[in-house]
Amino acid sequence: MSKKLLIPILGDQLSHDLSSLQDQDPENTVLLMMEVAEETNYVRQHKAKIAYILSAMRHHAAALRERGWHVDYVKLNDPGNSGSFTGEIARATQRHNIDSIRVTEAGEWRIMEMIENWEDQFGLPVTICPDTRFVATHQDFEDWAEGKKQLRMEFFYREMRRKTKILLDEDAKPEGGKWNYDSENRKPAQRDLLMPQPIRFRSDNITKDVIDLVGAHFAGHPGSLDHFYFAVTHDEAMRQKRKFLDDALPQFGDYQDAMLTGEPFLWHSILSPYINSGLLDPLALCREVEQRYHDGDVPLNAAEGFIRQIIGWREYVRGIYWREGPDYAHRNFLSADRKLPDFYYTGKTDMHCMAQAIGQTLDMAYAHHIQRLMITGNFALIAGIDPHQVHQWYLEVYADAYEWVELPNTLGMSQFSDGGIIASKPYASSGNYINKMSDYCSECRFDVKQRTGPDACPFNALYWDFLDRNKDKLGDNNRLAMPYRTWDKMDENTQRDIRDSAATFLNHL
């Protein structure tokens, strides 16, 4: 009798060319897909995020069956569902009389540690395949990081450009003469009737079932299901990708950092949920963007800016996540310990910028990078919120959030809790930056020009108070020399007013 192989497919492994499937014979293989409570509940995930993942999984199972695979699919409310990956694999090995297991490595420590135990637990050989959907292997990142004092994304990104040969000319020099065009990508946006909008996909019966299931089982989780708009199949994700390439990419660079009231998406791609769960291939996407540049459809600053986010930032944060180890999640360089304010779960705050970023997050499980970094992240940083609570919030509320990508972005880039491994200085700012890059302040009850007092923009006093509070840890950071000089030049009364204003605000949080 031929040997029976079990291939578990995890919720973020929805790719037809997944490494565990390569060169396997569908005849003697069972693919196992599992909806388990352990994953939906390990943090209180946004309802729309759960609905997106479950619907995409169910559609992917159907697509795999069409390609001839035997898929055993365990639904969340199936009788006997044990609620855990390990429990479901145990049941499936019995059900199908399995001889061996083959799985693509998981994206995070928690699940990887689980997988590494399976061989002993089940007494079966387990092959763990590398995840080939990334440009850099774990070894590539280690080789690059070896012996370096600082692990700056920019230099890693250049390696990835060389490895993929994307946007390089015949002499292997960067297209246009420069590696990075970020300085051209900081324009504030004007409201424009022709602003691109992502496709809002209509729910089919599978998605409707899932939405009902999530509504019934996860009523206490944050977020709304009323605005569900996600692509849930490979074809739909491809349609959203084409829409982005045609309509938004040409101005992606210019307005990458801009924010406008009532406009959640602007010129962003809204593709991260599909890239991270496997519906879209990141490298193929970058090659299409490069082609659009060569065809003269998009300017270099847009193409390079977009490609840098994917083969630069995305690959880099993954490298940091695995290099720093499970302990990374517990770092707290600035010893911040304030509780996360409740308005992160309601959006009810007079700070218009925060209400906008949080409101759209709860409605749509989406905010773009600058909203995550310079609004909600910046506020948590300068208010001294416990970074573990901040990390948990980001992991819960965004449809694209998986620990390997969310944790370094939140804990490292946004909260500076790793002491500067990712960011050379904290992304802290006063209301001035927000006013420059958005129209939020004109609709806010606070006055962005005032530094202290009940009507002053809270970001202003909090920013200076943050620098003052953390002087022992940040005072020798060269990149903060200028703001520290400005703080030192303020007279004592001004400094005292700022401290008092910040304290009054924080006491009322």
Residues that bind ligand FAD (CB under 6 A): 268-272, 275-276, 306, 309-310, 313-314, 317, 368-369, 372-373, 377, 394, 398, 400-401, 405-406, 409-410, 413-414
The contact pattern for ligand SF4, residues 403-432, with x = CB under 6 A and - = no contact, is ----------------------------x-
- Residue 73 CB, shortest distance to ligand SF4, in Å, is 46
Indicate the length of the chain as a whole number.
509
- Residue 359 CB, shortest distance to ligand FAD, in Å, is 16
- Residue 397 CB, shortest distance to ligand FAD, in Å, is 9
Choose the contact partner of 157 out of ligand FAD, ligand SF4, none; CB within 5 to 8 A by kind: none
How do 100-104 and 70-74 pair as beta strands?
unpaired
SS3 283: helix
How is 342-401 classified by DSSP, letter by letter? GGGTT---S-HHHHHHHHHHHHHS---HHIIIIIIIHHHHHHTB-HHHHHHHHHHH-TT-
- Residue 404 CB, shortest distance to ligand FAD, in Å, is 9
Q: How far apart are CA 505 and CA 179, in angstroms?
A: 43
Residue 457 lies near ligand SF4 (rule: CB under 6 A): yes
Q: How far apart are CA 112 and CA 205, in angstroms?
A: 33
Which CB atom, from 153 or from 374, has the smaller least distance to ligand SF4?
A: 374
Residue 377 lies near ligand SF4 (rule: CB under 6 A): no
Report the chain's terminal Cα–Cα distance, integer Å. 67
Q: What is the footprint of ligand SF4 within residues 270-309 (CB under 6 A)? A: none
Residue 353 lies near ligand SF4 (rule: CB under 6 A): yes
Would you put residue 23 in left (φ > 0), alpha (ψ -120 to 50) or beta? left
- Residue 108 CB, shortest distance to ligand SF4, in Å, is 33
Q: How far apart are CA 343 and CA 114, in angstroms?
A: 35
Backbone angles phi, psi at 211, to 5 degrees: -60, -40
Residue 440 lies near ligand SF4 (rule: CB under 6 A): yes
Question: How is the beta sheet containing 70-74 ordered, strand by strand?
Answer: 70-74, 29-34, 5-9, 100-104, 126-129
478, exposed or middle or buried, with CB in 10 Å at 0-12, 13-18, 19+? Answer: exposed
Q: Tell me how many degrees the CA angle 182-377-198 measures, rounded to the nearest 5.
A: 65
Which CB atom, from 85 or from 505, has the smaller least distance to ligand SF4?
A: 505
Residue 444 lies near ligand SF4 (rule: CB under 6 A): yes
Residue 357 lies near ligand SF4 (rule: CB under 6 A): no
Which CB atom, from 196 or from 458, has the smaller least distance to ligand FAD?
A: 196
Residue 340 lies near ligand SF4 (rule: CB under 6 A): no
Residue 351 lies near ligand SF4 (rule: CB under 6 A): yes
- Residue 502 CB, shortest distance to ligand SF4, in Å, is 14
Residues in the site for ligand SF4, rule: CB under 6 A? 351-353, 431, 434-435, 440-441, 444, 446, 448, 457-459
